Amino acid sequence: MAKSPLPPALAAFVAATARRDMTGVAYAVMLLGNAAMVLLTLDAAYAAAHGWIYALLCGCLAFFVAEWGIRVQAAVRMHQATAYLTSGRGLVDAASATAVPIALAAGVEPRTAWLLAFAWALKVIPGVPGLRRLRRVMVVEARPLLSVLVLFLLVLFLGSVAEYTLEHDVQPATFGTIPSAMWWAVVTLTTTGYGDVVPITPLGRMVAGMVMISGLGVFGLWTGILATSFAAETRRDNFLKTWELVSRVPFFASLGPSTIADVTQMLRTIDLPPRATVIRKGEPGDCMYFIAAGEVEVDLPGKKVRLGEGAFFGEMALLGNNLRSANISTTNLSKLLVLDLVDFRVLMARHPDLARSIDAEAQRRALENRT
């Protein structure tokens, strides 16, 4: 509301930054800056253009200093300065802005000091879509994952001691100490197998074979825990996101709560930009749509019909004639709920009342379009 002295794009950027979002610009600067940092380690690139590279890096640094400044200021304004500065995100922002200058000021050689720009890459972490889910998996499955880790470390330790005992006389250079044997063990247990350290005695090789097979076992457990748990979290997330939207569609609101829970587990949400084609005439149809937010336009012969929030479409291709009968596209930013053919049939079978009301609407529309 307040009159801003900044041009609108810049103002929008400052606002987004203050909200602690990563803007598209910030992603671009991060990628550019880290690419420049990588270039700095190539002698050829350094010799040819180190001036330009340093200029680019300084520009990126300036950007992150500004970003940090905006965020600190915004936090101070909202009396959350301490909370922000000590949060993970705040620490990454601070490191991004200050690590390199501090290192340079401390007299570290520039090519080394700029390596600290790796902190910029950490800024993407909060933006990774599935990370919240992953963190929940870690919390919920902490005990089984810890068990697997302890097993891993135990096999690692016992394998190392065994190989040290069996091999250190024959290969003192590679198995001469337990830490060296541990390096072999971790490379083997993870099935990486560099081959820089390899047992050569028959007994050592038998122990190694057992360590490898244990590696597969540990790996199997690890995969199993992560896979099962991640799948469950994904279902949870979808349920939560969809439930919100289902309650906005009047068609579902009339159903009992147990049907709604059923429906929610079957629907999938998609977000579409304006003017995106949802259905193309003549293509085979395998799902129907409910509009949770936004609007679509049905391109019927001779007229254009608009369907708003709460309407559904695409049901005709599921009720008999398999091909889509009209083009349908969004008019503005829309959120649609997708019901797949499989789930459509299961749902119709379980809830005949739902089937009847969709049927009735479909017939009404068919009649209307014919006239």
168 contacts: CB under 8 Å, gap ≥ 6: 175, 176, 177, 181
Q: Point out which span in 55-63, 88-96, 117-125, 292-300 binds a copy of itself (CB under 8 A).
A: 117-125
Q: Which of residues 185-224 bind a copy of itself (CB under 8 A)?
A: 186-188, 190-196, 198, 202, 205, 208-209, 212-213, 215-217, 219-224
Please provide the distance, in angstroms rounded to a whole number, between the alpha carbons at the two ends of the chain. 50
- List the one residue from 147, 277, 332, 363 that touches a copy of itself (CB under 8 A): 147
Residues 13-32 vs a copy of itself: string with x where CB under 8 A? Answer: --------------------
Shortest distance, position 133 Cβ to a copy of itself, whole Å: 7
Q: Point out which span in 9-17, 81-89, 172-180, 298-306 binds a copy of itself (CB under 8 A).
A: 172-180
- List the one residue from 8, 24, 51, 129 that touches a copy of itself (CB under 8 A): 129
- List the one residue from 8, 107, 179, 302 that touches a copy of itself (CB under 8 A): 179
| CA-wise closest residue to 358 among 300, 317, 325, 312 | 312
Backbone region of residue 314 per phi and psi (left: phi > 0; alpha: psi in -120 to 50; beta: other values):
left
Confirm or reject binding of residue 341 to a copy of itself (CB under 8 A). yes
- List the one residue from 240, 323, 360, 366 that touches a copy of itself (CB under 8 A): 240
Which CB atom, from 306 or from 345, has the smaller least distance to a copy of itself? Answer: 345
Which CB atom, from 24 or from 195, has the smaller least distance to a copy of itself? Answer: 195
Angstrom distance (rounded) from CA 96 to CA 67: 10
Residue reference for tokens 């825990």: 225
Shortest distance, position 42 Cβ to a copy of itself, whole Å: 5
Confirm or reject binding of residue 355 to a copy of itself (CB under 8 A). yes
Cα-trace Rg, the chain: 30
Residues 33-72 vs a copy of itself: string with x where CB under 8 A? Answer: -x--xx--xxx-----------------------------
Shortest distance, position 309 Cβ to a copy of itself, whole Å: 21
Which CB atom, from 6 or from 28, has the smaller least distance to a copy of itself? Answer: 28
Angstrom distance (rounded) from CA 368 to CA 108: 78
Q: Nearest 5°: CA angle at 296, between 291 and 299?
A: 135
Which residue type does 44 have?
A
**Pure H helices in the chain:** 8-18, 24-40, 43-77, 81-86, 88-105, 110-113, 131-140, 142-167, 172-175, 178-189, 202-246, 250-253, 257-266, 341-350, 352-370
Which CB atom, from 273 or from 308, has the smaller least distance to a copy of itself? Answer: 273
| CA-wise closest residue to 101 among 51, 65, 50 | 65
- List the one residue from 18, 23, 81, 144 that touches a copy of itself (CB under 8 A): 144
Residues composing the chain: 371
Q: Point out which span in 47-55, 80-88, 171-179, 271-279 binds a copy of itself (CB under 8 A).
A: 171-179
- List the one residue from 146, 203, 253, 366 that touches a copy of itself (CB under 8 A): 146
- List the one residue from 151, 266, 300, 307 that touches a copy of itself (CB under 8 A): 151
- List the one residue from 69, 88, 110, 130 that touches a copy of itself (CB under 8 A): 130
Phi, psi of 73 (to 5 degrees): -60, -45
- List the one residue from 87, 98, 165, 327 that touches a copy of itself (CB under 8 A): 165
Confirm or reject binding of residue 78 to a copy of itself (CB under 8 A). no
Helix (H, G, I), strand (E, B) or coil at 32: helix
**Residue 154 CA, distance from chain mean position:** 33
Which CB atom, from 46 or from 251, has the smaller least distance to a copy of itself? Answer: 46
Helix (H, G, I), strand (E, B) or coil at 371: coil
Beta bridge partners of 279: 328
Which residue type does 101 have?
P
Query: 185: how many CB neighbours lie within 10 A of its CB?
Result: 26
Q: Which of residues 321-340 bind a copy of itself (CB under 8 A)?
A: 340
